């Protein structure tokens, strides 16, 4: 059943199990998908909804037959959630099948019909499928994505054997039984007598919900069970061969480039992509590619749910949601001890980094009292803290705001939509490599699908006119002489960490402005003072007479609007330089901001020698705006991909609470009256 479009008629749906009504996410997806759920007796033109081949399905089969209603079988889609359903995690997608159900090989299903008859030759469709496979591989995503991508696989050369839970309907309806698992193990040992047999348990077995088929006490000597949350994609990369009965993980093995050996008849068997040890239906005569299989199973067959916008979504929406949530689980599940965090930031830090593990706020002296990693606001890191963490074997992460932060200033206590967590250093300190340096270096070799995503992000940011703080405002643009070269000179907070750590010989705004004039004696210079300096909250003001000598105009206009009339930016370390690069504007750096030294800027300051890679602009953007920061949706509170954060910024969502704005004004007043106590 294809996903409904805007003109799809609504149908009454009569569920035959209580879960359709009591499970909020299940009910919501079905309602969005065109079903008005009812109780009572259906009639012709109505749908009877049953869950796959569950014991309650027979009642629905009889009801549909007796009343002339259509029977619709519902099941989870192939990218379901972070955790299994029995752990309480709601699904991100469903399949609704009017012919059969995908795991029942005895009869056709809508998925089988798609695989057998759909052309599956549309270039755009197959490109989407290939991009999805690439993102699943890069993000270590599958039906259940709570896996640790950093856990290593055993030495390469093992045979991977996929277990399933006892009683799984996909086993019996896939032409197999419990004996099939014993046969699979025996055959794998015969086929590969010199290899280790690695049995991967099902996530529900690992969590204690349902048993699997293998007993560690009765395994042959060269077989062993792996029940850690190691990523299937990591195992696929090191496995010599993959053996399965009917597991969905066999489908994922195909996407990883394997030709799995099957001992049942899963939906992906019989299409030339598997080594089938059971006869497959004669209906399956077509030979498919992995991209065609993915296009049908992941794009055409399911109905996907967008949890951020509460609407039906796309495969890409679900991948983005899983990427963000899986990253948060992987990085945060051990919890943190947080030090150097201001009180007003703690709520947002817990929302960003405390969803999957405990977070305890304390002082520096007690940071290493337990075994958890330590978070410190980057500007408050001390040598003593770093040395204490090293001595205790504690990982120290520096935290800072991301490069798409908010709609409003941090000095106004507007909460951030994005933050970074850096285990190597911090992006504004070029004296040591940072995680961002590492990501930019790796990004130089990114595959095309990830670069295309970054290019789409660049186009979106440019079209929406978004920047780090998005202050808005109605300040007019300065009048620029016709035909003049326009050089934008962004002022900075002179005691900001990015200046203290990343500036070279030019360290103040007055010298910056003089240098820009020396570099461009005939240009029209626009000086943009930093908003925190204008507000009197931070240092960096310049004598107006000096500004008038070197700059043609001083402007407090929105940065994105200023960039629209700019032909070059000259900066020390300002983030406006990065925003100019995104818009294709040449940038001259006098210090060593994170975007300098990669061959994309004219660098007059000293840049670190470790920045030797030559990434494209799209690669730089992928590292800085996709891979490095973490985003939290201000509407749902969920970890989210950058695309959702961009949408919220464009809508003006998440501009802070009134109490924080009042506190910010008080801080500004006290800063402006420091003579009272100094």
Q: Do 667 and 456 form a contact (C-beta atoms < 8 A)? A: no
Instruction: Tell me the residue ranges of DSSP E strands in 491-628.
Output: 524-528, 553-554, 568-571, 587-589, 602-603
Q: How far is CA 46 from CA 71, 75, 216, 637, in A?
A: 9, 19, 50, 37
Q: Which two tokens stand for residue 477?
A: 């643009």
The CA distance from 645 to 630, in Å, is 10
Share of the chain above pLDDT 70, in %: 94
Q: Which two tokens stand for residue 337?
A: 């001890």
The CA distance from 197 to 221, in Å, is 9
**At 114, is the secondary structure helix, strand, or coil?**
helix
- Position 4 scores a pLDDT of 60
Greatest CA span in the chain, whole angstroms? Answer: 90
Q: Is the pLDDT of residue 629 over 50?
A: yes
pTM of the model: 0.92
- Position 2 scores a pLDDT of 52
Mean pLDDT for 298-324 is 98
Mean pLDDT for 616-642 is 97
Q: Is the pLDDT of residue 53 over 50?
A: yes
**Residue the block writes with tokens 């929105």:** 558
Of 29, 96, 16, which Cα lies nearest the Cα of 64? 16
Comparing 501 with 8, the larger pLDDT belongs to: 501
Mean pLDDT for 172-198 is 97
602, β-bridge pairs: 588
Q: How far is CA 363 from CA 203, 339, 372, in A?
A: 38, 5, 15
Q: Do 198 and 235 form a contact (C-beta atoms < 8 A)? A: yes
Q: Do 204 and 249 form a contact (C-beta atoms < 8 A)? A: no
pLDDT band per the 50, 70, 90 thresholds, residue 296: very high
Q: Is the pLDDT of residue 152 over 70?
A: yes
pLDDT band per the 50, 70, 90 thresholds, residue 5: low
Instruction: Tell me the residue ranges of DSSP E strands in 561-661.
Output: 568-571, 587-589, 602-603, 629-632, 639-640
pLDDT band per the 50, 70, 90 thresholds, residue 62: very high
- Position 393 scores a pLDDT of 92
pLDDT band per the 50, 70, 90 thresholds, residue 661: very low
The CA distance from 206 to 144, in Å, is 12
Q: Which residues neighbour 98 within 8 Å (Cβ) at sequence distance 6 or greater? A: 1, 70, 71, 72, 73, 110
Pairing mode, strands 11-15 and 35-37: parallel
- Position 473 scores a pLDDT of 67
So where are the chain's domains? 331-441, 456-659
Q: Which two tokens stand for residue 597?
A: 């030294």
Please tell me the number of Cα atoms within 13 Å of 75 on its side-chain side: 26
The CA distance from 456 to 146, in Å, is 28
DSSP 8-state class, residue 258:
-
Q: Count Cβ neighbours within 10 Å for each residue of 330-366 and write b for 16 or more, e otherwise.
A: bbbeebbbbbbbeebbeebbbbbbbbbbebebeebee
- Position 675 scores a pLDDT of 36
Of 410, 488, 483, which Cα lies nearest the Cα of 663? 410
Q: Is the pLDDT of residue 38 over 60?
A: yes
Q: Is the pLDDT of residue 672 over 90?
A: no
Q: Which two tokens stand for residue 271?
A: 């299409």
- Position 370 scores a pLDDT of 83
Mean pLDDT for 350-365 is 93
Q: Is the pLDDT of residue 365 over 70?
A: yes
Q: Is the pLDDT of residue 409 over 80?
A: no
In the CATH scheme, what is the code of domain 331-441? 3.40.50
CB neighbours of residue 55 within 10 Å: 9
The CA distance from 284 to 292, in Å, is 14
Q: Is the pLDDT of residue 45 over 90?
A: yes
Mean pLDDT for 214-234 is 94
Mean pLDDT for 26-36 is 96
Q: Do 492 and 498 form a contact (C-beta atoms < 8 A)? A: yes
**At 400, is the secondary structure helix, strand, or coil?**
strand
| Interior angle at CA 130, CA 126 and CA 136, nearest 5 | 140
Q: Which residues neighbour 662 within 8 Å (Cβ) at sequence distance 6 or greater? A: none
pLDDT band per the 50, 70, 90 thresholds, residue 475: confident
Architecture of domain 456-659: 3-Layer(aba) Sandwich (3.40)
**At 313, is the secondary structure helix, strand, or coil?**
strand
Going 280 to 285 to 289 to 291, the CA torsion angle's sign is negative
Q: Is the pLDDT of residue 660 over 50?
A: no
The CA distance from 237 to 289, in Å, is 19
The CA distance from 583 to 592, in Å, is 20
Mean pLDDT over each residue of the chain, to the nearest integer: 92
The helix-helix angle for 448-464 and 575-582 (nearest 10°) equals 100
Share of the chain above pLDDT 90, in %: 85
Q: Is the pLDDT of residue 596 over 60?
A: yes
Mean pLDDT for 579-593 is 97
- Position 671 scores a pLDDT of 41
Q: Is the pLDDT of residue 20 over 90?
A: yes
- Position 144 scores a pLDDT of 96
**Of 105-119, 407-421, 523-537, which range is least confident?**
407-421
pLDDT tens by residue, 88-99: 999 999 999 999
The CA distance from 509 to 100, in Å, is 70
Q: Please tell me if the domain spanning 331-441 has the same topology as the one spanning 456-659.
A: yes
Q: Do 589 and 604 form a contact (C-beta atoms < 8 A)? A: yes
pLDDT tens by residue, 537-566: 678 789 899 899 999 999 999 899 999 999
Q: Which two tokens stand for residue 140?
A: 């270590």
The CA distance from 509 to 512, in Å, is 5
- Position 474 scores a pLDDT of 73
- 409 membership: H or E segment, kind and range: none
């Amino acid at each position: 059943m294809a996903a409904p479009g805007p003109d799809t008629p609504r149908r009454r749906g009569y569920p035959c199990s209580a879960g359709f009504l009591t499970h909020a996410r299940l009910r919501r997806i079905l309602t969005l998908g065109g079903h008005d759920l009812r109780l009572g007796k259906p009639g012709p033109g109505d749908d009877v909804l049953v869950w796959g081949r569950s014991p309650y399905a027979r009642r629905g089969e009889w009801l549909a037959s007796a009343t002339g209603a259509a029977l619709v079988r519902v099941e989870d889609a192939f990218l379901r959630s972070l955790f299994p359903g029995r752990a309480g995690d709601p699904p991100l997608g469903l399949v609704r099948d009017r012919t059969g159900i995908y795991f029942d090989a005895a009869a056709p299903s809508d998925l089988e019909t798609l695989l057998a008859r759909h052309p599956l030759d549309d270039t755009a469709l197959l490109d989407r499928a290939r991009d999805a496979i690439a993102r699943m591989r890069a993000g270590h995503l599958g039906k259940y994505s709570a896996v640790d991508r950093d856990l290593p696989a055993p030495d390469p050369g093992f045979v991977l054997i996929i277990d399933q839970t006892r009683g799984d309907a996909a086993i019996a309806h896939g032409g197999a039984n419990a004996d099939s698992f014993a046969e699979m193990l025996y055959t794998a040992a015969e086929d590969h007598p010199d290899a280790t047999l690695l049995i991967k348990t099902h996530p529900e077995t690992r969590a204690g919900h349902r048993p699997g088929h293998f007993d560690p006490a009765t395994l042959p000597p060269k077989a062993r069970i792996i029940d850690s949350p190691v990523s299937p994609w990591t195992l696929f990369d090191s496995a010599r061969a993959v053996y399965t009965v009917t597991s969905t993980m066999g489908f994922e093995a195909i996407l990883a480039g394997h030709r799995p050996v099957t001992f049942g008849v899963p939906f992906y068997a019989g299409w030339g992509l598997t080594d089938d040890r059971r006869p497959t239906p004669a209906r399956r005569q077509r030979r498919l590619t992995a991209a065609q299989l993915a296009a049908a199973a992941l794009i055409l067959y399911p109905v996907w749910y967008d949890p951020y916008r509460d609407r039906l979504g796309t495969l890409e929406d679900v991948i983005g949601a899983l990427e963000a949530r899986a990253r948060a689980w992987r990085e945060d599940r051990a919890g943190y001890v947080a030090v150097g965090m201001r009180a007003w930031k703690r709520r947002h830090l817990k929302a960003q980094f405390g969803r999957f593990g405990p977070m305890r706020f304390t002082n520096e002296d007690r940071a290493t009292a337990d075994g958890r990693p330590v978070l410190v606001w980057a500007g408050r890191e001390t040598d003593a803290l770093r040395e204490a963490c090293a001595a205790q074997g504690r990982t120290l992460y520096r935290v800072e705001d991301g490069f798409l932060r908010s709609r409003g200033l941090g000095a106004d206590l507007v909460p951030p939509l994005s933050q970074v967590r850096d285990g190597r250093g911090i992006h504004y300190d070029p004296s040591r490599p940072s995680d961002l340096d590492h990501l930019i270096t790796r990004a130089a070799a990114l595959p095309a699908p990830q670069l295309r995503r970054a290019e789409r992000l660049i186009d979106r940011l440019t079209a929406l006119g978004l920047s780090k703080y998005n202050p808005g405002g109605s300040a007019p643009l300065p009048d620029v002489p016709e035909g003049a070269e326009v050089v934008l000179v962004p002022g900075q907070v002179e005691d900001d960490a990015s200046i203290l750590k990343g500036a070279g010989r030019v360290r103040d705004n007055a010298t910056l402005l003089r240098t820009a004039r020396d570099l461009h004696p005939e240009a029209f210079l626009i000086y943009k003072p930093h908003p925190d300096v204008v507000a009197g909250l931070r240092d960096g003001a310049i004598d107006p007479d000096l500004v008038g000598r070197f700059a043609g105009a001083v402007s407090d206009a929105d940065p994105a609007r200023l960039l629209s009339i700019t032909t070059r930016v000259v900066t020390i370390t300002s983030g406006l330089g990065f925003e100019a690069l995104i818009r294709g504007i040449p940038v001259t750096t006098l210090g060593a901001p994170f975007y300098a030294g990669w061959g994309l800027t004219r660098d007059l300051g000293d840049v670190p020698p470790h920045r030797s890679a030559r990434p494209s602009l799209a690669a730089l953007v992928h590292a800085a705006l996709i891979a490095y920061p973490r985003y939290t949706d201000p509407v749902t509170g969920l970890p989210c991909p950058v695309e959702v954060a961009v949408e919220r910024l464009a809508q003006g969502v998440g501009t802070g609470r009134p109490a924080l704005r009042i506190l910010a004004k008080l801080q500004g007043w006290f800063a402006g009256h420091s003579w009272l106590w100094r």
